[in-house]
Chains A and B, each alone.
Chain A
Amino acid sequence: MRVVVVGAGHAGVEFADALRRNGFDGELTLLDEQADQPYQRPPLSKDQLRDPAQQPLPIRGEAFYDAARIELVRGAVVSTIDRAAREVSMGDGRRLRYDTLVLATGSQSPTPPWQVTGPIRRLRTLDDTRWLAPVLRERCRIIVIGAGYVGLEVAAAAGELGCEVLVATRGRRLMSRAVSAPMSSAVLLRHQAKGVAFRFDAVVARVDQPRPGYAAVTLADGSELRADVVLEATGVGPRTRLAREAGLEVSDGVLVDSSLRTSDPAIFAIGDCARMRYGQAHLRLESLPNATDQAHHLANVLTGAAHAFSPAPWFWSSQGKIRLQIAGLSAEDDASFIVGDESDGAFSVLRVRDGRVSCVESLNDIKTHSIARRMLSQNELPVIDAAVDSGLVRSTPRPVLAPPVL
């Protein structure tokens, strides 16, 4: 029995570990195109930008793979899947047979919808951080396109290192996919207080970076923004080319059922690249806790230790002194209730759907987050009227009536 995993990122490595821990005794191979020892991604936009001398943190130390009898092949670009022969082939012509194949290919950046001259600078990989960290130390002027969490983490680090930072984003508020409007506003004020500038409703028409130290962004309204470097951070999409070309069902992610099985019973998908059927809907999450949870669930499925998978999604982002923790899943039109003082210190936003708390967003409010996470893992976030009695919060939540004006 041989299990082959494409992608030795967080989902792939965690899965291989969990499978062995569950007692799987067959051959287990992890293939990854990257030359580096599989490393943790979250520090890339946080500690590691501030301190380039810091060694990258591996997902597991080198000794782990041998000890767990996991064959890790680095520099292996998987180019095709032959489903009939149950074989994957690599760019250099090598082939490998599988009994079970796991796709853990993660995300990729889409081609930007604007004109480009010069390189497109992003922060996705260790190589990107190796490049950006020294640039930030030179106190450059940097424009970050996109106000998602990676963009804001970079903005915070760059600001702390003495750079002049402008975040330009298409929307009207920051992290609009991840948090409520009141949380966006609170985070915005904190970044502004640190000197980070923002330009909202910015539609980028072109980006020129013809040589190091010169960069310009031209907006659709004709205005031009100058800097030393421009970083594209507008978000990612699932990396699905392999699956699509192999004829698997793909729609904004490799489609999988609640056992994480694709349309081919011998092939599974986990992590950022997978879109799981969940109740009536489909769910695709780009987060580390999701990658880890799915990895463990799949190990359970494959070793017959499966239990029903009920995702309890949570997420974090740390942007300088801003520690954001989110437990649960909200929809755009969920109501918002504030607990605590949003102008200063710690507070949380409870998102509410049909009277029930769907999600808790906490800013430097670890206590509320930890209670929410425990409740969520028991699947028992309370109805909003009982939020105080249930112990979720200590003071009465205040409804946010209209979205605050930025």
Chain B
Amino acid sequence: MVKVTLVQADGSSAVVSVEPGQSLMRAAVLAGVPGIVAECGGQAMCATCHVYVREDHLDALPVMGDEEEEMLEVVASERRPGSRLSCQLVGLADDVVGDVPPSQI
């Protein structure tokens, strides 16, 4: 189990425990973290589960697949180097800190 800290635009944050095999999206939604919409339920189809992973944590992430790469082009908030779809973040190697974007829609 790893711990992911998700920071909101207003500076508040939540620490989410992610079970092995569980996606960060699912863990964050279940924990009631605001700002993760996840319309498609985790299929890399909607791009509304966007998070910015902080630079010094990028090594802990699984490799990005083609689908995620393409869908990150339609995120509602600006795409940045640490942009990931949280539904595709399964099997984090270590604890991670990320930011929730201002908007998903």
Q: Are A292 and B74 in contact (CB under 8 A)?
A: no
Contact flag A57-B42 (CB < 8 Å), given A64-B32, A366-B66, A366-B67: yes
Q: Are A374 and B32 in contact (CB under 8 A)?
A: no
What's the Cα separation between A296 and B103 when bound, in Å?
A: 11
What's the Cα separation between A106 and B68 when bound, in Å?
A: 30
A58 on the interface (CB 8 Å rule)?
A: yes
Nearest first, the 3 A-B pairs at minimum CB distance are: A63-B32, A61-B32, A64-B32
Contact flag A61-B74 (CB < 8 Å), given A40-B41, A42-B41, A325-B45: no
B 43-66 binary contact with A (CB < 8 Å = 1; else 0): 101101000000000000000001
Chain B residues with a Cβ under 8 A of chain A = 26, 29-34, 37-43, 45-46, 48, 66-67, 70-71, 73-74, 105
Q: Are A60 and B32 in contact (CB under 8 A)?
A: yes
What's the Cα separation between A60 and B46 when bound, in Å?
A: 16
A169 on the interface (CB 8 Å rule)?
A: no
Q: Are B46 and A61 in contact (CB under 8 A)?
A: no
Q: Are B34 and A370 in contact (CB under 8 A)?
A: no
What's the Cα separation between A369 and B73 when bound, in Å?
A: 10
Q: Are A318 and B43 in contact (CB under 8 A)?
A: yes
Chain B CB within 10 A, most for which of A14, A293, A316, A371: A316
Q: Are B71 and A323 in contact (CB under 8 A)?
A: no
Q: Which residue of B lies closest to A289 (CB)?
A: B39
A217 on the interface (CB 8 Å rule)?
A: no
Nearest Cβ on chain B to A45's Cβ, whole angstroms = 10
Q: Are A43 and B37 in contact (CB under 8 A)?
A: no
Contact flag A42-B40 (CB < 8 Å), given A17-B34, A60-B32: yes
A-B contacts besides A43-B41, A58-B30, A63-B32, 14 pairs, CB < 8 Å: A10-B39, A47-B42, A47-B43, A57-B30, A57-B38, A60-B32, A63-B31, A64-B33, A64-B34, A65-B32, A289-B39, A292-B37, A292-B105, A366-B67
Q: Are A57 and B71 in contact (CB under 8 A)?
A: no
A236 on the interface (CB 8 Å rule)?
A: no
A239 on the interface (CB 8 Å rule)?
A: no
Q: Which residue of A lies closest to B16 (CB)?
A: A61
Q: Are A316 and B34 in contact (CB under 8 A)?
A: no
A284 on the interface (CB 8 Å rule)?
A: no
Chain A neighbourhood of B70, CB < 8 A: 366-367, 369-370
